[in-house]
Amino acid sequence: MKYRGRFAPSPTGPLHFGSLVAAVASWLDARAVGGEWLVRIEDADTPRTMEGAADDILRTLEAFGLHWDGEVVWQSRRTALYEDAAARLRTLGATYRCKCSRREISDSGLLGPEGVIYPGTCRRLGLGAEVATERFDVSGTHVVFHDRVQGAIEQHLERHVGDFVVKRRDGLHAYQLAVVVDDSDQAITDVVRGADLLWSTPRQVALQRRLGYPTPRYLHVPVVINERGEKLSKQTRAPAVRPEDAIETLRRALAFLRQPATQGGSAAGILAQAAAAWDPAVIVGAAPA
């Protein structure tokens, strides 16, 4: 099958160095094998979307020579697809409605590695459509998958995550559902992204299995942290990468990914050399940024 990768930024702010590293890794992994690389704007979470951020991200990718194939896909225009999948899960009896408040869950749930573990309170109540929140029932679900950098990843979803939300109280489809629908609909063969999403992957694999979708290959690159040891993000005020520093920033991204140094004075030239030399096997224990 022809390689198809993607970069799927959430337009909650401009591109920072951490998201650039993910974009570069995913672009190189695709281009190294002559594959396609798509861009999807993950703006399904409309309350978190920042005006102008998506255009800014797209302009920045272009300025860095990270050109994509085909049309950019916008999650906010694909609600019908997510609702079809939610309806299928409902028909399969794989989801149920939940009326618990955040407060009730945090009072009664155990804290797991991914936040509070939902204790399944509403699982057998058979609540109707007047309740908006829908959860995926993970009873007995055990997921093992191979990550190309992180190795074998295994999770007992019931013990470590609990039944997770696929449709939110505000009626929006949750990231976990939208991403699985999109990766399948866009025939993505390879997901390359930051390791902050490593432990979301078992939930995504569980959804893929239930919906009958194929599971792509996964490669999670280490997360870039700042001098205080925090992940670069909007919350930690990571600065935007600047197109005028593209060459220097690309070199830093390649060094972070432990790829060989490149020569040449253009972003496109650096990326072409880096794609020819791309070796994800050396990424483990990435270099400090």
**C-alpha pair distances (Å), 212 with each of 181, 208, 216:** 11, 6, 13
CB 123 within 8 A of CB 95: no
Nearer to ligand GLU, 75 or 249 (CB): 75
Shortest distance, position 45 Cβ to ligand GLU, whole Å: 9
d(CA 256, CA 221): 10
Shortest distance, position 19 Cβ to ligand GLU, whole Å: 6
Shortest distance, position 182 Cβ to ligand GLU, whole Å: 9
Shortest distance, position 39 Cβ to ligand GLU, whole Å: 11
Interface with ligand GLU (CB under 6 A), residue total 7
Query: Is 42 one of the binding residues for ligand GLU (CB under 6 A)?
Result: yes
- Residue found under tokens 């570069």: 24
Shortest distance, position 108 Cβ to ligand GLU, whole Å: 29
3-class DSSP state of 124 = coil
Written as six digits, the tokens of 248 are 């220097």
Helices 267-277 and 246-256 pack at an angle, to 10 degrees, of 20
Query: Is 39 one of the binding residues for ligand GLU (CB under 6 A)?
Result: no
Among 4, 5, 9, 259, binds ligand GLU (CB under 6 A): 9
- Residue found under tokens 């019931």: 158
Nearer to ligand GLU, 179 or 238 (CB): 179
Stretch touching ligand GLU by CB under 6 A, among 5-13, 30-38, 122-130, 241-249: 5-13
d(CA 62, CA 174): 29
Q: Would you state the torsion angle of the CA atoms of residues 53, 57, 59, 61, taken in this order, to the nearest 10 degrees?
A: 180
- Strand 190-194 relative to strand 217-221: parallel, antiparallel, unpaired? parallel
Nearer to ligand GLU, 9 or 14 (CB): 9
Written as six digits, the tokens of 197 are 């999403």
Query: Is 10 one of the binding residues for ligand GLU (CB under 6 A)?
Result: yes
Which residues, 171 to 210, sit near ligand GLU by CB under 6 A?
179, 193, 197
d(CA 31, CA 44): 28
Nearer to ligand GLU, 49 or 133 (CB): 49
Shortest distance, position 204 Cβ to ligand GLU, whole Å: 8
Identity of the residue numbered 102:
R
Nearer to ligand GLU, 70 or 260 (CB): 70
Residues in touch with ligand GLU (CB under 6 A): 8-10, 42, 179, 193, 197
